[in-house]
Amino acid sequence: MPLEIVDDYRDSAFARAQTGLLFNLPAPPVDCEQLPVGISLCMIVKNEERFLADCLRSVRDVVDEINIVDTGSSDRTVEIALEFGANVIFRAWRDDFGWARNESLALATRRWTLVLDADEEIAPESLSLLRALRETPADLTGVYVRIQNLVDDASGAASTMTHVLARIFPTTPRIRYRNVIHESVVVDGTEHLYSVMSPVLIRHKGYTAAMMDGRAKNERNKPLLERAIREASGDAFSWFNFGISAIVAGDFESGIEALERMFAMPGPQRAFFPIGYVMLASAYADGRKDVERGIAILDDGLTHCPGHPNVVFTRAHLLAQLGRFDEARDEYDAVMAGAFNAAQHSMVDDEIWTWKAPLNVATTYVKEKRFIEAVPWFERAFASKPDSTLLRGLMASAYERVGRFYDAERLFREASERDGQPGFVEYVNYLMRRRRFTEAFERVEQRRDAIADNVYAALLYSAAQTTRDERLGDPEPFALRALALEPGNGHVLRLLDGVYAAAGNGAKRERLRQAELDAPLADAADFARRSYRLLEDGRLDDALDAAREGLAHAPSDGVLSFNAALAAARLRRDGEALAHLEGVGDDDAHATAAFALRAEILRRSGDLDGAIVELRRIRGLAARDDDALRHATVGLATALLEAGRFDDAGKLAAFVLD
């Protein structure tokens, strides 16, 4: 049997045929001309001095040239690039990321092109793979890399979400970017680049809130997203990005319209579609309050991407919203059991199986008041993310709830030492709940110099409240010290007003009530107190203005919404009143009064049947105000009697007042 003996393995026909097997890349045709071996790094930058050196340092040992297009830096970005031997050219920015990317690609001379952003770094474990790629023959097949995004989340600790993108591809003018934002790689201007999966990992630092705010990405991206759907209305990816951005910004209707249009487009489903299902379902559930429709959307998604962790996780979350807790826990179990399949999907939340699913399981037990069963799940979540401020607090509260006070105090004390002012406040509140008031007050005073004035005022308010409720002495000194820091503090003003009223000290009460109308306001409670006081004084226009100003700071505040509605109704601006009442939820303290006010507005407009419906809805409230209900019923029953509807008046009284 003949053997081929060569001195250099790389020169053998066998080796030449096998080099394309890296990442399962197909072997190019024999006559496919190859550029010189190596990797060309291509980037676009502007004012990236904060990140660029780390980025270039991470990759300089595996790339053969660095090509950078600068679009107007005014910091040390260009200087840093030149220090790493980069080939830098300058282009004026023209609101088109695809064009800018292509300007950088035109500089590449080596066989493979690698695209990075300045706030990205190649993971050290991927460098050997890139070295192996340098000599791999190339044709028209790209390479997907996994991009691990550092993101902010509710845990209070660093989290990651991973997705795949074609960031490595053959160097050829046939491969270019398309779209002005969220640009994608295409062949010959229209065809999406076929790419193979690889374990190459890029770490991205730019999605934390601090980074997003610092670069004003949200404001910058909106006009570009709108332009993208005008210029590429037939591209599903453009509609995906527009829809996601709209939903994140709270514009649920525009997001729903965009994503539904995306799903209606002909052709196969794309790699980003699973996240589209998640976001569309969330928009229906959160925006339209149609949770059932959200679940149906996720069910459809699972027929196309079975077992996708984000889809299953979101489905479990929506099931829990409907109170279907056993089903939700089964879904969370499925997510956690499928963690090893994560790499099969193009975009996944890496935190789902570590702490998010266990935390949500714990939450389902809490909602069922099965607190002991919740504790092991809180522990599992916290063990996966022990630096999390959120999870430490939840774990401490869970221990407190089941009577494990030693463990609870250990974590609350740890929070006071590690989590800044919020952790310290939680620890003080825990001491107060344990009726260790003297110790709590002493700790507050010990930390005074390290506590911001607004936090100190809040703690003084808690001290005043506790002193009053527990009959520990006179709450006035604590309250006055708080008012010295925040003269318009609504909580403190309400407490002190009540203290003076209970003591029959009319002079102090009158001075307080006069002075507060000129005090500066800071948060929602302050505006709520001010609008309430103006309503008391009959200054309806001023009350409405104060409530509106507060709603500009806190649009979802139920008290402010009710105060605005009440002022508008008394001014006979019923349309505006009804609009403000939409902001009062069934769980708000003013829910009964809100329904009663809505009924009153409908009654005086002549819609007695509509008014009856509103009063009947009060019976379903978890914490209704029966006195307010009776008062409203008397007024409506009188109107029914005047209209000759005697049976309806009797039925209303019997139903509501029973």
3-state secondary structure 23-42: HHCCCCCCCCCCCCCCEEEE
- 1-143+165-188 and 585-658: identical CATH topology: no
Structure tokens at 334: 């499925």
Distance, CA of 607 to CA of 604 (rounded, Å): 7
pLDDT score of 632: 77
pLDDT score of 594: 87
pLDDT score of 642: 82
Alpha carbon distances (Å) from 479 to 434, 498, 505, 527: 22, 12, 16, 18
- Maximum distance among all Cα pairs of the chain, rounded to whole angstroms: 115
Average model confidence (pLDDT) for the chain?
A: 88
pLDDT score of 12: 42
**Confidence tier at 259 by pLDDT (50, 70, 90):** very high
Q: In 397-429, which positions are buried (b, 16+ CB within 10 angstroms) versus exposed (e)? A: bbbbeeeeeebbbebbbebbeebebebbbbbbe
pLDDT score of 256: 96
HEC per residue, 99-146 = HHHHHHHCCCCCCEEEECCCCEEECHHHHHHHHHHCCCCCCCCEEEEE
Averaged pLDDT, 413-427 = 91
State whether residue 544 is helix, strand or coil. Answer: helix
User: Which of residues 337 and 64 earns the better pLDDT score?
Assistant: 64
CATH number of 1-143+165-188: 3.90.550
For 380-386, the CB contacts below 8 A with 24+ separation are 380/355, 381/355, 381/356, 382/355, 384/354, 384/355, 384/358, 385/155, 385/157, 385/351, 385/354, 385/355
Residue 368, Cβ neighbours under 10 Å: how many?
13
Q: By the 8 A CB rule, do 151 and 173 touch? A: no
Q: Which residue has the tokens 């069910």?
A: 299
Q: What percentage of the chain exceeds 90 in pLDDT?
A: 59
Q: Give all strands (DSSP E) within 291-354, no chain letters.
A: 347-349
**Confidence tier at 249 by pLDDT (50, 70, 90):** confident
Lowest mean pLDDT among 148-157, 459-468, 559-568: 148-157
pLDDT score of 590: 83
What is the total residue count of the chain? 658
pLDDT score of 615: 81
User: Which of residues 468 and 5 earns the better pLDDT score?
Assistant: 468
Q: By the 8 A CB rule, do 292 and 273 touch? A: no
Q: How confident is the model over 365-409, as pLDDT tens digits? A: 999 999 999 999 999 999 998 988 889 999 999 999 999 999 999
Q: Which residue has the tokens 């197909």?
A: 26
Q: By the 8 A CB rule, do 142 and 195 touch? A: yes
Averaged pLDDT, 490-517 = 94
Q: What is the DSSP letter of 344?
A: G
For 617-626, the CB contacts below 8 A with 24+ separation are 618/591, 618/592, 618/656, 619/655, 619/656, 620/586, 621/586, 621/591, 621/592, 621/595, 622/586, 622/587, 623/587, 623/591, 624/591, 624/592, 625/592, 625/593
Domain boundaries, the chain: 1-143+165-188, 585-658
Whole-prediction pTM = 0.70
Distance, CA of 184 to CA of 188 (rounded, Å): 13
Averaged pLDDT, 88-98 = 94
Best CA proximity match to 202, nearest among 151, 159, 143, 147: 147
Residue 288, Cβ neighbours under 10 Å: how many?
13
DSSP β-bridge partners for residue 186: 176, 192
120 pLDDT more than 60: yes
pLDDT score of 542: 94
Q: By the 8 A CB rule, do 122 and 202 touch? A: yes
Structure tokens at 642: 């005047």
Q: Which residue has the tokens 């499925």?
A: 334
pLDDT score of 157: 53
Q: Which residue has the tokens 């826990």?
A: 329
Q: How confident is the model over 331-369, as pLDDT tens digits? A: 999 989 876 566 666 777 878 888 999 999 999 999 999
Q: How confident is the model over 124-165, as pLDDT tens digits? A: 999 999 999 999 999 999 999 988 887 665 555 556 777 888
Averaged pLDDT, 491-499 = 94
Most confident residue range from 79-83, 93-97, 304-308: 79-83
Residue 225, Cβ neighbours under 10 Å: how many?
22
pLDDT score of 219: 62
Q: What is the DSSP letter of 356?
A: I
pLDDT score of 451: 86
Distance, CA of 235 to CA of 225 (rounded, Å): 12
CATH number of 585-658: 1.25.40
pLDDT score of 220: 66
Distance, CA of 358 to CA of 381 (rounded, Å): 5
Distance, CA of 617 to CA of 606 (rounded, Å): 19
Pairing verdict, β 191-192 and 184-187 = antiparallel
213 pLDDT more than 50: no
